[in-house]
Structure 1
Amino acid sequence: MYEHTLTDGTVWLTRPTGADIDRIVECCQDPEVQRWVTIPVPYHRSDAESFLDKAVAPGWAGDTPVWAVRTAEDGQVEGMIGLHDRGADMCEIGFWLTPEHRGRGLMSRAVALVCDFGFAPDGLALARIAWRAFVGNHPSAAVARRNGFQYEGLARSASVQRGVRVDEWRAARLPTDPPGPADWPQHVLPG
């Protein structure tokens, strides 16, 4: 797959490169990123290098791209968003954002761009984009809900985070689902 920069004029999604390594390391020191994302803790430069070599490069070589989230075309990394292969015509979306940019709608914009590209016939032509998060990750749930992901339930002990089994919330969006806010159970919505 050739590289695709996605933008709506407020957020820019570009392939992360070696020039972003120090910033990725800095961002991955955030306790909330470490809490909700399955990254090594502590997170070192070698982890960022491995991420670029073992996740980003093969993702762009196939159909599972990973983008750096930026607030300007030539801006620094403020987060990551990517699609991960989950079988024929299906991917799972994953994302994180730096503390100073949370709560401003940037990740909702990024998810909208990735979903549009993922479902587009001249994009990835996906039949399904799944989302999952550890129970309690209300900000991630809010982003998924705002982007039309339909809540599909609770998966008990479905993941392992730092050696401990944890429950997950799961949702998905199909190309026929409207992009706006979806109805979700009250217990999943932020308080």
Structure 2
Amino acid sequence: MAEQVTLTTARLTLSAPDASDVDAIFEACQDPDIQYYTTVPSPYTRADAEGFVALVADWWEDGSEYVWALRAPEGFAGVIGLHKIADGASELGFWAAPGARGNGYMTEAAQAVLDFAFGPMRLERILWRAVVGNEGSARVAQKLGFQFEGIQRKGLPHHGVAGAHGRTDGWMAGLLNTDPRHPQLWGL
């Protein structure tokens, strides 16, 4: 059983999403980009947000995934998590609420999560993947020092728009605990 951990940065508090975040998660997940570039259900309902919050609590309890809500001075700013934690590795995933984009919150939050992953968690590798074309997510990964490892053909599940399912090509990058964390240029 893993105890929930709160992380803090200069501008943010990262803590597990709870019932008080349901409305903000529901609202943010109405954004077409979140529905297109992530695997959230589409259409996204309030019940989906409630189920997500409950699922996050289960993940923390069994130690399989650690997920945090980003809490900025102006309120809820997004979600970030370490997914599929096993064998010294994990996958970093995140999305920003539309009103919180463009101010560096996600990069700041991800730096704190990586410090936690490579520090107290003692992980050796973090994977980042995104739907090809998700340039906002790619910019964050590049700023964090992830090294581009290629394109996975049909490598990601893709919900896209309401009722559309299937697989899509995905960018993939990795960061090792021994890698320098300075910005990378991938030339995408």
Please state whether the residue corresponding to 2:22 is helix, strand or coil. helix
Taking the aligned partners of 1:148 and 1:114, their CA distance within structure 2 comes to 14
Runs of 4+ in 1 over 2 A off after TM superposition: none
Alpha-carbon distance change, 180 to 10 in structure 1, aligned in 2, over 3 angstroms: same
Structure 2 counterpart of 1:160, one-letter code: P
Partner of 1:179: 181
Residue 10 in 1 paired to residue 34 in 2? no
How do 1:156-175 and structure 2 match up within 5 A? 156-162=153-159, 163-175=165-177
The code of the aligned residue for 1:127 comes to E
- What is the deviation of 1:143? 0.2
Q: 1:118 aligns to what?
A: 117
Match of 2:136 among 136, 139, 145: 139
The question of 1:92 aligning with 2:91 is answered yes
**Helix, strand or coil for the counterpart of 2:75?**
coil
Structure scoring higher RCO (CA < 8 A, sep ≥ 6) equals: 2
Cα RMSD of the aligned pairs, angstroms, is: 1.3
Quote the Cα distance in structure 2 between the aligned partners of 1:16 and 1:34.
19
Question: Partners of 1:50 and 1:63 in 2: how far apart?
Answer: 17
Q: Which moved more, 1:147-156 or 1:160-169?
A: 160-169
Which ranges of structure 1 fall in alignment gaps of 5 or more residues?
none
Report percent identity of matched pairs: 44
Please state if 1:130 is matched with 2:132: no
Query: Which amino acid in the other structure matches residue 149 of structure 2?
Result: E
Given residue 143 of structure 2, which amino acid in structure 1 is its aligned partner?
A: R
How many residue pairs match? The answer is 181
Supply the distance in 1 between the matched residues of 2:20 and 2:100 (Cα, whole angstroms): 21
Q: TM-score, normalised by structure 1?
A: 0.90
TM-score normalised to structure 2 length:
0.91
Residue 153 (1) aligns with residue 150 (2): yes
Which sections of structure 2, spanning at least 5 residues, go unmatched?
Answer: 160-164
Letter of the structure 2 residue corresponding to residue 91 of structure 1 = S
